[in-house]
A and B are shown apart, each in its own frame.
Chain A
Amino acid sequence: MMIHDILAQLTQVVALGKINKNTPLPADMLGQDGASELAFRALEQGITPQAILNDGLLPGMSIIGEKFSRGEAFIANMLISAQAMNAAMEHLKPYFASGEIKSTGTLVLGTVQGDLHDIGKNLVKMILKGDGWEVIDLGTNVSSEAFLNAISSHSDAIVGLSALLTTTMLNMGEVTETLKKHNPETRVYIGGAPVSQSFCQEIGADGYFRDPHSFAKSLRLD
């Protein structure tokens, strides 16, 4: 099989959410190789891990992401594609550890203090993990100090803040100020029903996103 054939196949199985040979979905691919088997074989054929990631897996995530944007797929499709990608990534893990390929990045994520809502935050986590990000989820009701501690041990990480209440969104300003004071280069992104682009500018955050997918899409283009 030619290199571009197997990479194209990887792209296809990720987009379709075919995790491995044994997974029942998609029904018309029953018994066929999935992302796990194809990634293993690609490595056997000497394709570099970076090429597998950049030219095989990530384009598959982009395809399903675009379908989602057009209303032709649902979040479940994206998450199953993310599982397929993660199955392939298991074979690439040793190369991350050795530094031969670089991970997409690290995201420190949490719902700000006083707020217990977490579905939006969890969606961001699941989608970005699918895109190859390492996600450090601090949970809900997270203080500025907890965000600062996490950033202190992951200096290159970006930060995602979530809030769903008018009485907690102001805490995003405090967290942003604390993090920027510690390191002005730390990028802070916000999301949640009551916040907006103008609020983002007001508190000095680096970006506001209405939904997890647009956040992920923006990071892919970064």
Chain B
Amino acid sequence: MKTYKSLSISNPDELVFGISPHTVSCGNGLVIGAGQVFPEINFTLPTLLINEANWQSVISHYHEICEAVIKRSTVLQVPGLVIEFEQLPDMSMNPEWGAEITCLIKQHLDELYAATGIPNALRVTVVDLRDTDQPPLLRTGESCAKTLEAFRLSAQAGADILSIESVGGKEVHDQALLYADLTGIIGSLGILAYRDVGWLWGQITAIADEYKIIAGGDTACGFSNTAMQLAGQGMLPSSLAALDRAASAPRSLAAFEHGAVGPSKDCAYEGPIIKAIAGVPISMEGRSSCCAHFSPLGNIAGAAADLWSNESVQNINLLSGSAPEAFMELLAYDCRLFNTASKSNPLAFRNLMVDSDLPYSPEALILEPKTVIHIASEIVKQTGGYLQTKAAVQAAYEAILSAQNNGRVQIKTAEKVWLDSVALSLSAVPDKEGDALEYLLATYGSFFTPAAYGL
């Protein structure tokens, strides 16, 4: 297991899109993090049941999507391309189905490389089925076996990069988040999720090594993006979603401690913190993902991106063409801007992205390069997921308070009262991991099984 005791990037001005200390070479000649930002296109099916009767229709959709996005990326002469095939639950529950589509997409990418020389890679993201049982078993049982089998068959079928949106700890985090319970949030992410990510990525890395492909990275999507969406709907304070984002970084970093090398997953908005610590390339999504969900991070998300993604778009027709083709064009033009700026004044372009979002949301503040480095440096001072998570939340809270006091970030009136109460809540968060675990067991014991986390 690798541990990070110092930062790979400690100067905020070196936390820039397109450049990572540790580049990743993968797929058909693609090198990520070596100076350019590449589009990472992702797509999904329109309203359609996935079953044996519809399987040929499913296959036809993926053929049609690949043809469309490859045509658009060729016309626009993208400097490189990543296709992410994010499996749908049925495709991981029936891993041979996911493998068939993996193979199909890989063939399209190989043909693209042969015909045009455009470097490319295929990321396959397997659905984490392991929380099918309640409480989740995680390390044992059929759903765990299926999840790992889906990775293996995807690797065999031609995946270049493996990823997952893992869910260990979510069963407790969901509860804690809704009650705005900071001890519960820090414990679920720092103890449970951190342990599960470490275990799971040990398995994924072994499969990636066996097939000589890349163990990409994880995302706290089910945790902090849930918080972001609930905050966007006014259900949670935006500053709570911001603290949750910071809290998710040590948990996602655990994948890199156990062999992942990047690029991290597009919906891992904690990516810049990971990049500062581990020096790995990251995928990010911002305004380009409005086809899948809204966010307060549309521009600032691009500040440190090495891949630029659209999250997911249905294969439906628009006036211009299919939605995946249209979003391929959008990503291609965004990447032209990134890569043209890289040649002249990348910092000026990065700062435009940062400054244009920063005043409107504490969630954006967490992605500001100075704040990223502050949080990252507090994380590496600590040992172990729990203390790292606690330190990340404390650092993020200090950053929000400071930005509120000097008027850099707007805090809505309704959440000022909540923010005032955070100091008290934080002071109650135990210093010792064992005490925090006791709290989790006492408060949320019916939702999780310690053995599922090796406890």
Query: Quick check: B132 and A171 within 8 Å, CB to CB?
Result: no
Q: Is A136 an interface residue (CB 8 A)?
A: no
Query: Quick check: A123 and B89 within 8 Å, CB to CB?
Result: no
Q: Which chain A residues (72-125) contact chain B, with CB distance < 8 Å?
A: 72-76, 79-80, 114-116, 118-119, 122-123
Q: Which residues of A contact B46 (CB under 8 A)?
A: 166
Q: Is B418 an interface residue (CB 8 A)?
A: yes
Q: Report the minimal beta-carbon distance from A169 to chain B, rounded to whole angstroms.
A: 6
Distance, CA A75 to CA B178, complexed state (A): 6
Query: Quick check: A170 and B49 within 8 Å, CB to CB?
Result: yes
Q: Report the minimal beta-carbon distance from A26 to chain B, rounded to whole angstroms.
A: 10
- Chosen A-B contacts, 16 in total, with CB atoms closer than 8 Å, are A72-B414, A74-B236, A74-B414, A75-B178, A75-B236, A79-B179, A116-B131, A119-B226, A123-B178, A126-B178, A165-B89, A166-B44, A166-B47, A166-B48, A167-B90, A171-B49
Q: Report the minimal beta-carbon distance from A82 to chain B, rounded to whole angstroms.
A: 10
Query: Quick check: B47 and A71 within 8 Å, CB to CB?
Result: no
Q: Which residues of A contact B129 (CB under 8 A)?
A: 116
Q: Report the minimal beta-carbon distance from B25 to chain A, rounded to whole angstroms.
A: 34
Q: Which residues of A contact B314 (CB under 8 A)?
A: 166
Distance, CA A171 to CA B90, complexed state (A): 13
Query: Quick check: A71 and B234 within 8 Å, CB to CB?
Result: yes
Q: Report the minimal beta-carbon distance from B7 to chain A, rounded to whole angstroms.
A: 33
Query: Quick check: A167 and B132 within 8 Å, CB to CB?
Result: no
Query: Quick check: A166 and B45 within 8 Å, CB to CB?
Result: yes
Q: Is B340 an interface residue (CB 8 A)?
A: no
Q: Which residues of A contact B90 (CB under 8 A)?
A: 114, 167
Q: Which chain A residues (107-155) contact chain B, with CB distance < 8 Å?
A: 114-116, 118-119, 122-123, 126, 139-141
Distance, CA A69 to CA B359, complexed state (A): 25
User: How would residues 40 to 52 of chain B score, 1 for a CB under 8 Å from any chain A CB and 0 otherwise?
Assistant: 0000111111100
Q: Which of B49, B132, B178, B234 is A140 in contact with, Cβ under 8 Å?
A: B132
Q: Is B202 an interface residue (CB 8 A)?
A: no
Q: Report the minimal beta-carbon distance from A144 to chain B, rounded to whole angstroms.
A: 13
Q: Is B427 an interface residue (CB 8 A)?
A: no
Q: Report the minimal beta-carbon distance from B226 to chain A, rounded to whole angstroms.
A: 5
A-B pairs, 9 with minimum CB distance = A76-B180, A75-B235, A166-B47, A170-B49, A167-B50, A167-B88, A76-B179, A71-B234, A167-B45
| Further contacts, 14 of them, CB under 8 A, given A75-B236, A167-B47 | A71-B414, A74-B234, A80-B179, A116-B127, A123-B235, A141-B89, A141-B132, A166-B45, A166-B47, A167-B44, A167-B49, A167-B90, A168-B49, A171-B49
Q: Which residues of A contact B406 (CB under 8 A)?
A: none
Q: Which chain B residues (420-439) contact chain A, with CB distance < 8 Å?
A: 421, 424
Distance, CA A27 to CA B90, complexed state (A): 48
* A119-B47 contact, Cβ under 8 Å, with A73-B414, A76-B179, A80-B179: no
Distance, CA A194 to CA B424, complexed state (A): 39
User: How would residues 197 to 215 of chain A score, 1 for a CB under 8 Å from any chain B CB and 0 otherwise?
Assistant: 0000000000000010000
Q: Is B233 an interface residue (CB 8 A)?
A: yes
* A194-B234 contact, Cβ under 8 Å, with A114-B89, A116-B132: no
Distance, CA A71 to CA B237, complexed state (A): 10
Query: Quick check: B178 and A79 within 8 Å, CB to CB?
Result: yes
Q: Which residues of A contact B (CB under 8 A)?
A: 27, 68, 71-76, 79-80, 114-116, 118-119, 122-123, 126, 139-141, 165-171, 194, 211
Distance, CA A126 to CA B179, complexed state (A): 11
Q: Which of B47, B89, B415, B418 is A194 in contact with, Cβ under 8 Å?
A: B47
Distance, CA A139 to CA B129, complexed state (A): 14
Distance, CA A74 to CA B44, complexed state (A): 33
Q: Which residues of A contact B48 (CB under 8 A)?
A: 166-167, 170
Query: Quick check: A75 and B230 within 8 Å, CB to CB?
Result: yes
Identify which of A74, A79, A114, A194 gathers the most chain B CB atoms within 10 Å of its CB: A74
Q: Report the minimal beta-carbon distance from B48 to chain A, rounded to whole angstroms.
A: 6
Q: Report the minimal beta-carbon distance from A167 to chain B, rounded to whole angstroms.
A: 5
Q: Report the minimal beta-carbon distance from A215 to chain B, rounded to whole angstroms.
A: 13
Q: Report the minimal beta-carbon distance from B156 to chain A, rounded to whole angstroms.
A: 24
Q: Which residues of A contact B49 (CB under 8 A)?
A: 114, 167-168, 170-171
Q: Is B443 an interface residue (CB 8 A)?
A: no
Query: Quick check: A169 and B178 within 8 Å, CB to CB?
Result: no
Kindly report which residue of chain B lies nearest to residue A76, judged by CB atoms.
Answer: B180
Kindly report which residue of chain B lies nearest to residue A170, judged by CB atoms.
Answer: B49
Query: Quick check: A139 and B178 within 8 Å, CB to CB?
Result: no
* A119-B174 contact, Cβ under 8 Å, with A114-B50, A166-B47: yes
Q: Is B317 an interface residue (CB 8 A)?
A: no
Q: Which residues of A contact B131 (CB under 8 A)?
A: 116
Q: Report the minimal beta-carbon distance from B56 to chain A, rounded to whole angstroms.
A: 15
User: How would residues 212 to 243 of chain B score, 1 for a CB under 8 Å from any chain A CB and 0 otherwise?
Assistant: 00000000000000100010011111000000
User: How would residues 79 to 92 of chain B score, 1 for a CB under 8 Å from any chain A CB and 0 otherwise?
Assistant: 00000000011100
Q: Which residues of B contact A116 (CB under 8 A)?
A: 89, 127, 129, 131-132
